[in-house]
Amino acid sequence: MNTEPRHTLRLLAVGDVVGERAVSDLSRLLGAASARYAPDITVVNGENAAGGRGMLPEQIDEIFAAGADVITTGNHILDRDAVIPRLEDSPRVLRPANFPAGDVGVGYCIIPVCGVSMLVMNVSGCVYVAARDGSAFGSPFEAAEQILTREAGRYDLAVVDIHAEATGEKLAFARFFDMNRDERDRRVAAVWGTHTHVPTADARVLPGGVGFISDIGMTGPENGILGIDSDTIIRFTKDHARVKFKVADGETVMNAALFELDARAARAISVRRVKFTMR
């Protein structure tokens, strides 16, 4: 992470890491991205690192060692009980802020980047997504507003990973903060979607200055279906079979989005999709 003061900075948001091999490959992939784009901060979603569901403590260490400054997650983060102690003592490992009350972990952190304070937030969508016990998540809109209001004055700009299924919900979230930037000075500069593992073609800067993309895709084997073995997913979807998911074989790809941000105005200058493949 770059701490040298300047007004324009680059944020690399990396899509859901799927499987152990993708975790191992991440160091080389982030190294290639760093050499080409020189990001000032890198945020990696580690949601599916452990066999496609959740993360293990040692994988958190590997993802940070590979170059992540913050790790975001999603609806599967509590699927692995072993990760719970790390969520309690790792302020830069985030779980969605709108998880049911009482769940361990934090939904945001504030870190120094290029001489400014950046609030990095993680929320979950509610449409077609539920907690592991089947209970509903709280509103991502309300959770984000509460955090931005509570931390007003402590950050210069905010960025959000919204882990959600429905593209419309993700765009509505971004549009809301884009249309209401002046009201209570919300200062959201970037919103990117994760969870579907399929990169979308709608990267752009919204009229109010929020950089947005519905989904940045995944980091994992491209040969399968969303990173999981094709035969397994076909049996699950076509035959409704009870199957244990396994990560697909094949080379690892890293899908991500690169945001260029104006720290003084707390707005995006540009956003574009990027992709790297293991060679």
For residues 257 and 272, is the Cβ–Cβ distance under 8 A? yes
Distance CA 24, CA 19 (A): 9
- What are the φ/ψ torsions at residue 29 (nearest 5 degrees)? -70, -45
The helices-and-strands tally (H runs, E runs) of the chain is 6, 13
Instruction: Decide if 111 contacts 1 (C-beta within 8 A).
Output: yes
Rounded distance, CA 50 to CA 48, Å?
6
Q: Decide the pairing of beta strands 218-221 and 16-17.
A: parallel
* Tokens read off for 216: 């940045």
User: Helix, strand or coil for residue 240?
Assistant: coil
* Kind of pairing between the strands at 41-45 and 252-262: unpaired
Is 269 in contact with 206 (CB distance < 8 Å)?
A: no
The label of the residue with tokens 């993309």 reads: 213
Catalytic, out of 7, 76, 195, 240: 76
| Three-state secondary structure of 93-155 | EECCCCCCCCCCCECEEEEEECCEEEEEEEEECCCCCCCCCCCCCCCHHHHHHHHHHHCCCCC
Residue 7 designated active-site? no
What one-character-per-residue DSSP string does 26-48 give?
Answer: HHHHHHHHHHHH--SEEEEE-TB
Residue type, 96: P
Q: Known catalytic residues? A: 76
